[in-house]
Amino acid sequence: MPVKDTHYVIPGRHGPVHARTYSLGASELRPALVWFHGGGFIGGDLDMPSADWVARSIAEKGFVVVSGDYSKCLDGVHYPIPNDDVLDLWTWVGERAISLGIDPAGIHVGGASAGATLAASLAKRLRDGAGMAPKSVILVSPALHYGLPEAQGDLQAVLFAHADNVLTPDLIRSMSDNYCGGSASAADIYAFPSNGEVSGLPPTFVLNAEIDSLRSSGEDYAARLHQAGVDVVVEYEPGATHGHLNEPDEVHATRSLLRLISWLRIHSLSGGSGQVSSDSSARWAQGLSDRMETGLRQQD
């Protein structure tokens, strides 16, 4: 059955927010993922592979995916405008879940790169009363700090060996300044999700690229979640660089996609409380390698 996609324009508080739904059109309500693309807060759209390919591929597995766009930080636009856009879209999805074929109790949120930053920010705002909490959170190559934490362990050697192929700290700081509008918002708990208290968040999957300076941000954030008692899994895709989900013909992208689907499948089976048992986490981990091996054979 082919995936059907439908474009929507949602009225947001700062203007129209564009989104695209992907589904198989099943008669029963399905779990869903609200997904946000990357692009350094200045680029990206619903047609780029990390938006369209990811959404379409996940929908093929029986999920409803809502791929959301947001205001870019250009021409004087800064935080919190893109963050408000994703909250407005989340609210819209929740209000129309049934008509979209979505199980309201099974909506996950995630994103890649800048989209992961916005997804993590959204999860904190929802935790603090802005709306219904997501079932789980998926963060791929996220930028969660105003300034990058120091690389730890093998990451130091990896970044040194690939110095010409990674984002520099200066470039990331410049991106952060442009996004938040300057140092005044650098400590805001929603602008950069690593700021402030991180307890009480939904189960979270952090997937980094091995060869990516932002990996230190994802690893540090995951460690803080674990210390705060949040159910969290952090992994990296071996050999992958930042933005690898925009290369769907490459094995790194396929492997990462299979990781996301595996997480969604297991965490959509957990109870309605939004908490995932250690048994379901174990089943996710146990089945991942088999699913990845099968998916890679199919690609070949």
Distance CA 122, CA 34 (A): 11
| Annotation marks residue 14 as catalytic | no
Residue 278 annotated as catalytic:
no
Q: CA 296, CA 119: separation in Å to the nearest integer?
A: 28
Instruction: Give me the catalytic one of 212, 213, 220, 270.
Output: 212
Integer-rounded Cα radius of gyration of the chain? 18
- Distances in whole angstroms, Cα of residue 180 to Cα of each of 42, 173, 195: 12, 11, 13
Cβ contacts of residue 56 below 8 Å, gap of 6+? 3, 5, 22, 65
Q: 229: alpha, beta or left, given left = phi > 0 and alpha = psi -120 to 50?
A: left
Show the tokens assigned to 127: 């935790």
User: How far is CA 255 from each of CA 155, 199, 286, rounded to the nearest angstrom?
Assistant: 20, 30, 15
Torsion angles phi and psi, residue 245, rounded to 5:
-70, -10
Q: 166-184 as b/e, with b when 16 or more CB fall inside 10 Å?
A: bbeeeebeebbbbbbbeee
Choice among 113, 256, 270, 281 that is catalytic = 113
Choose, from 78, 145, 242, 267, the residue flagged as catalytic: 242
Distance CA 67, CA 191 (A): 21
What residue has token string 């800064």? 78
113 assigned to active site:
yes
Concatenated DSSP letters of 184-215:
GGTT-TTTSTTSS--TTPPPEEEEEEEE-TTH
Known catalytic residues? Answer: 113, 212, 242
